[in-house]
Chain A
Amino acid sequence: MGGKGLKSGALGLVSSLVIGVASTAPAYSLAATLGFVTFYVGVQSPAVMLLAFVPMLFIAAAYYYLNRADPDCGTTFTWVTRAIGPRTGWLAGWGILVTDLVVMPNLASVAGVYTFSLFGAHGIAANSSGFWVTFVGVIWIIVMTAICYIGIELSARTQVALLGAELVILVVFAVVALSKVYGGHIAHSIHPTAVWLNPFKIPSIGALSAGMLLAVFIYWGWDTAVTVNEEAKDSRRTPGRAALLSTLVLLAIYLIVSVAAQSFHGAGFLTNNSSDVLGALAKAVLGSPWDKLLIICVLTSASSSTQTTILPAARSSLSMAVHKAFPKRFGDIHPKYLSPGFSTLVFGAVAAVWYMALTLISPNDVLANSILALGFGIAFYYGLTGFACVFYYRRHIFRSFKNFIFVGLAPLLGALILTVLFVVAIFYYSDPANSNTGNQAWLPFIHFNFTFLHQHFYVKKGLGPPLVLGVGLLLIGVPLMLIFKARNAAFFKRDREVAVSVDAPAPPLTPGVIPVTD
């Protein structure tokens, strides 16, 4: 086939930055987590935001270097398959899909809640698991799935404008809130202090890990900036710079907004309004009608976040299908819209059904349960990415100082931190009292007592819903993996690979062919 001349233009620094930050969706992330973070760590929430940034930054190094070796839309699935082996790789892919699925009910109900807030129907908005919020949330999922299926895209310029507006509004909100706090006369307001940044003031290791798992979520997504760039003209420098810049932008925004939000009416106010944190504050801070701006910005942010959840989820299952690790139909491409049609529709349908089911089984706490469960999935597959990087590049780590830091130390530390968070949070959430969802317990036949790092964990009857959701869905992957293994031996017979060089691209992972390795 001749003439493959035209290539897409390089993504410049600004586009990469926009993709990274818009995928992270700061306004939505804050709206979804702030009230839960303060539930666990009180006024230390800025400290948690700062701390959670560390493992995410470290794992970004792993993303950057693994993507350099193998820019594949299976991302972690493909990389872990190469470095650690097909079974772990399959589970990593499952981890991506599960995490994307778990966030959908949260996105949908935030969209529902803020839609009603926008029109002043605060009574309906207050019940985030109620019929009307769920109704709007399901429509939201259907519309967003359709957008991804048909392939509607905003122009680059519109995206820049929307994201710019989002950031400006968040900063304005924070500045106005702080100036009102210093101006006095605000009930329960507190002046910011440096102590808020001190993580050692957090009451327990369990609370710290719960808060960190939530805060890890707010940074989730900016790795996209690192991975979209394999064709950038200056692909050596642009992705790294874009990733660095987007993290700094995010870190700054999260610190400013969390400090401002909790100074205004105190941290307790945020916890009490956890399902509608920014909506509840907006009116008092910005006044009507300017509060609507913040609500609109949460909605646009949630819409880009929904898209950047559906698109990668569909691409992950497409990639798994192309590598023969998932049913073949998931690799289908719509002949007209050229989207991964089947993958997109299945993901949308499963997400909608899952959302409605979750509303039924946890009538009061859809938002809390889904957001708390999410951290497990993120920690799982980001952690695996970190380990995969160290493993894949193991022969190159000690060849230069730069290698040692970027493909050795940083990914390893990031992965270890996430592993510790994952494990400690398992014990912490095993007590239903620790899940901000009242004392609602699932799986009532389970009870045990446990002491770990001077923390007492005792489960009288049942496990906390976030644990059951977060870890349970990941565990379902094990039997599924075994089923696929029985049905398709070829993929699972792959050998491990090791990097030939830190700079050279890896040989292609040809579908169904077992690569020859050393």
Chain B
Amino acid sequence: MAGDIILGYDGSDGSNAALRVAVAVAKAFDAPLTVVFGYEPNPMGGETADYKNQLEKIGADHLAAAVKTAKALDPSVSVEPLVAALRPVESLLEASLERDARVIVVGGSGERPIVGAILGSVPHKLLHRSTVPVLVVPAPED
């Protein structure tokens, strides 16, 4: 497995826009697409098991929907879901290393600007830290 297209997916509008682009890119390069959902509960809150199970379920649901959409867009692209127990940015970086990724695709405006400024948005952090190209897809205008 090499040269994957990595997509960060959380079910938001931005990530759905990114999904469409990622399928097109995967098709163009004839590369497999890995759809990643990353989550990590704050370790400062102590024990996490039940909470993690819930998050895993949510992630699996999102990814199942993403795989379905991708297949509907283009049945010839091979799509693999990946739930990662890591923060979103870390999960994408790890996946890109592990799969020798060609590009990471993410939605651009998942967060409202002010929240993004406080949290540090995923695309922003990726642009600084990724060793592979990052493709940021703007969310559709309402």
Which A residues form the contact surface with B (CB < 8 A)? 1-9, 11, 15, 19, 22-23, 67, 71-75, 150-153, 159, 223-224, 227-228, 230-231, 304, 307-308, 311-312, 314-315, 318-319, 322-323, 331, 333, 335-336, 338, 340
Q: Contact mask B64-79 → A, CB, 8 Å, 1/0?
A: 1000000000000000
Supposing A1-B63, A5-B98, A150-B115 touch, asked if A311 and B44 sit within 8 A by C-beta, the answer is yes
A contact residues around B42 at 8 Å (CB) = 151, 153, 307, 311
A selection of 20 A-B contacts at a CB cut-off of 8 Å is: A1-B81, A3-B34, A3-B83, A4-B82, A7-B84, A7-B85, A7-B86, A8-B40, A11-B43, A23-B44, A73-B51, A224-B46, A227-B46, A228-B46, A228-B47, A315-B48, A318-B50, A322-B54, A331-B54, A336-B10
Once the chains bind, are A150 and B95 in contact (CB under 8 Å)? no
Consensus secondary structure, chain A interface = loop
B interface residues, tally (CB under 8 Å): 40
Nearest CB of B to A230, in Å: 7
Q: How far is the CB of B93 from chain A (nearest CB, A)?
A: 10
Contacts of A314 in B (CB 8 A): 45
Instruction: List the B side residues contacting A73 at CB < 8 Å.
Output: 45-51
Give the residues in chain B near A67, CB-CB below 8 Å.
47
Q: Is the CB of B43 within 8 A of A315?
A: no
Q: By CB atoms of chain A within 10 A, which of B34, B42, B91, B94 has the most? A: B42
| CB atoms of A75 and B46 under 8 A apart | yes
- A312/B46 in contact, CB under 8 A: yes
Is the CB–CB distance between A338 and B86 below 8 Å? no
CB <8 Å contact, A6 and B86: yes
Contacts of A159 in B (CB 8 A): 44
Nearest-Cβ distance from residue B37 to partner chain A, whole angstroms: 10
CB of A281, distance to nearest CB on chain B (Å): 29
Contact of A333 among B38, B55, B60, B98 (CB under 8 A): B55
Contact of A311 (CB < 8 Å), options: B39, B46, B63: B46
Tell me which residues across on chain A come within 8 A of B119, comparing CB atoms.
150-152
**Residues of chain B lying within 8 A (CB to CB) of residue A72:** 47, 49-50
Cα A165 to Cα B84 in complex, Å, equals: 33
Among all A-B residue pairs, the 5 with the closest Cβ atoms: A311-B45, A6-B84, A3-B82, A73-B47, A224-B46
Asked if B3 is at the interface of the complex by the 8 Å CB criterion, the answer is no
Given contacts A319-B50, A336-B12, contact A153 B83 (CB under 8 A): no
Please list the residues of chain B having a beta carbon within 8 angstroms of any beta carbon in chain A: 10-12, 34, 38-51, 53-56, 58, 60, 63-64, 80-86, 91, 94-95, 98, 115, 118-119
Q: How far is the CA of A307 from the CA of B42 in the complex (A)?
A: 10
Residue of B nearest to A332 (CB): B54
Given A6-B82, A11-B43: A333 and B58 interface contact (C-beta under 8 Å): yes
Contact status B45-A315, CB under 8 Å = yes
B47-A227 in contact (CB<8A): yes
Q: How distant is the Cα of A71 from the Cα of B44 in the complex, in angstroms?
A: 15
Closest A residue to B60 using CB positions = A1
CA of A1 to CA of B64 in the docked complex: distance in angstroms? 8
Residues from chain A with Cβ under 8 Å of B98 in the complex: 5-6
B118 contacts A308, CB within 8 Å?
Answer: no
> CB-CB < 8 A to A152: which residues of B?
118-119
Given contacts A71-B47, A153-B44, A331-B54, 4 further A-B contacts (CB under 8 A): A75-B47, A307-B45, A308-B45, A311-B45
Assembled-state Cα–Cα distance A224/B42 (Å): 12
Chain A residue contacts of B118, Cβ below 8 A: 150, 152
- Asked if A315 and B54 sit within 8 Å, CB to CB, the answer is no
Residues of B within 8 A of A153 (CB): 42, 44
Please tell me if the beta carbons of B83 and A1 are within 8 angstroms of each other in the complex: yes
Contacts of B94 in A (CB 8 A): 6
Q: Taking CB as reference atom, which chain B residue is nearest A331? A: B54
- Shortest C-beta distance, B120 to chain A (Å), equals 9
* Residues of the A chain whose Cβ atoms lie less than 8 Å from the Cβ of B38: 6
Which chain A residues lie closer than 8 Å to B50 at the CB level?
A: 72-74, 315, 318-319, 322-323
B47→A315 contact, CB < 8 A: yes
Contact B58 A23, beta carbon cutoff 8 Å: no
B41 neighbours in A (Cβ, 8 Å): 315
Contacting residue for A308 out of B46, B56, B83, CB 8 A: B46
Closest B residue to A9 using CB positions: B86
Residue of chain B at shortest CB distance from A20: B46
Nearest chain A CB to B60 CB, angstrom units: 5
CB distance from A163 to the nearest CB of B (A): 11
Min CB gap A206→B, angstroms: 33
Q: A1-B83, A73-B51 are in contact. Are A315 and B60 (CB under 8 A)?
A: no
A312 and B95 alpha carbons, distance in the complex (Å): 30
Residues of B within 8 A of A3 (CB): 34, 80-83
Interface contact A318-B54, CB-CB below 8 Å: yes
Q: Are B44 and A4 closer than 8 Å at their CB atoms? A: no
Chain A nearest CB, measured from B4 CB (Å): 11
CA distance A22 to B45 in the complex (A): 11
Q: Smallest Cβ distance from B76 to chain A, in angstroms?
A: 19
Instruction: Please judge, given known A-B contacts A5-B82, A6-B84, whether A230 and B49 are in contact too, CB under 8 Å.
Output: yes
CB contacts (< 8 Å) of A7 on chain B: these are 84-86
A455–B85 alpha-carbon span in the complex (Å) = 56
Distance to closest chain B CB from A210 (angstroms) = 28
CA distance A308 to B47 in the complex (A): 11
Closest to B91 in A: A6
Q: CA of A438 to CA of B60 in the docked complex: distance in angstroms?
A: 58
